[in-house]
Amino acid sequence: MDESRPIGSPITCRKDASNVGRDGVGRRRGRKAPVETIRCAGLSKSYGGAAAVDGLDLAVGEAQVYGFLGPNGSGKTTTMRMLLGLVRPTSGRAWLNGRALPDPDGLARVGAMIEEPAFHPWMTGRRNLEVLALHGPPLPHTDAVAGALENAGLTSVADRKVKTYSQGMRQRLGLALALMRDPSVVLLDEPMNGMDPAAVREFRATMRSLADRGTTVFLSSHQLTEVEQLCDRVAVVASGRVVAEGRPRDMTAAVVRVVLAPADRTEARTLLAARFPVRDKGPDALLVGAGDGRAVNELLGRAGVWAHQIRVERSDLEDAFLDLTTSDGEVAGDATAPR
């Protein structure tokens, strides 16, 4: 194992979106064009000289659930707004369904929920969608509103006034709106906000079945456990750039969990950090970036520090995310750093 690698950081995942083709749409001469629904090449947006999105490269294949992760202020919403033509990029390019943006016609095939939509509170959920359907392109079929309500898990409350809806129900109505025109791609900014666990489970099933039917789902979320279960691939952004991309399971790594008495924790941390990346995990454990529990056991035992438990396990996406987006893992984890 590479001992200088922070805990949980990607082993095989791509560290950047370097498969962006020379022509910007994934085509390389002599090769078959990959099917991509979303592509960004050097996409940037600055506000008053400060970069919100900074040369972002991204390639999202069709018919998958794709997680777009990053800390607060890392540029996720701004990227989505650029993809929807709501914000003009400062530089760089983007394509949706292979068509260069801005592309007003192409937007008809895109569903989106970027911020909580404003619904008429005195109308029912169903009526709100029917009214909103009058604007924009015609619906694909007569059952489109009912189908979208069903897909968003709202059928049982569809005829209640929106003012009686909980936040999670309003969120689901926003999702129904995004799905109403059978889009080929949906962009969802924090779609699980306000949903209770049952609603989140239903949401996961809905997203899965959308992807199985050919729709590309591109969503941002801070709920990393859900993302890990739901997404086929994820991109992690920090300061407006993609810092890692790949399948969630490739972003995790073997780690050693060491459970200790509180009195031993500081000494154990110092001993282990001299050789391995180390992170505090909960009140009684350390996560050590070593694939070998014996080496950890030996190091502690030689110094007379005895652990309650030493177990090799896999880190989760949250650990990988923290390592990729904070300096904490690097401080503890860089075995080559001067001490």
Ligand X SMILES: Nc1ncnc2c1ncn2[C@@H]1O[C@H](COP(=O)(O)OP(=O)(O)OP(=O)(O)O)[C@@H](O)[C@H]1O
Kindly state whether residue 52 participates in binding ligand X, applying the rule CB under 6 A.
Answer: yes
- Stretch binding ligand X (CB under 6 A), from 68-76, 108-116, 179-187, 325-333: 68-76
List 10, 26, 67, 70, residue binding ligand X (CB under 6 A): 70
- Stretch binding ligand X (CB under 6 A), from 70-78, 252-260, 267-275, 331-339: 70-78
Binding mask 75-104 for ligand X (x = CB under 6 A): xxxx--------------------------
How far, in Å, are 47, 163, 297 from residue 117 at the CA level? 24, 13, 54
- Stretch binding ligand X (CB under 6 A), from 5-13, 69-77, 112-120, 331-339: 69-77
Kindly state whether residue 242 participates in binding ligand X, applying the rule CB under 6 A.
Answer: no
Tokens coding 132: 């909103």
Kindly state whether residue 73 participates in binding ligand X, applying the rule CB under 6 A.
Answer: yes
- Stretch binding ligand X (CB under 6 A), from 65-73, 108-116, 161-169, 282-290: 65-73
Tokens coding 297: 């056991």
**Longest Cα separation, the chain:** 74
SS3 call for 18 = coil
Kindly state whether residue 223 participates in binding ligand X, applying the rule CB under 6 A.
Answer: no
Residue closer to ligand X by CB (options 74, 128) is 74
Contact assessment for residue 237 and residue 243, using Cβ atoms and an 8 Å cutoff: yes
Surface-to-core class of residue 167, CB atoms within 10 Å of its CB (0-12 exposed, 13-18 middle, 19+ buried) = exposed
Tokens coding 47: 């506000």
DSSP secondary-structure letter at 162? Answer: G
Q: Give the footprint of ligand X on residues 243-282 (CB under 6 A).
A: none
Residue closer to ligand X by CB (options 76, 269) is 76
Supply the Cα-derived Rg of the chain in whole angstroms. 23
Nearest distance from residue 76's CB to ligand X, in Å?
4
Q: 262-273 and 293-302 helices cross at what angle (nearest 10)?
A: 110
Residue closer to ligand X by CB (options 192, 287) is 192
- Stretch binding ligand X (CB under 6 A), from 6-14, 72-80, 92-100, 104-112: 72-80
Nearest distance from residue 47's CB to ligand X, in Å?
3
Residue closer to ligand X by CB (options 157, 175) is 175
Nearest distance from residue 238's CB to ligand X, in Å?
10
Amino acid at 124: T
SS3 call for 52 = strand
Q: ω before 102 within 30° of 0 (cis)?
A: yes
CB atoms within 10 A of CB 291: 15
Residues that bind ligand X (CB under 6 A): 47, 52, 70, 72-78
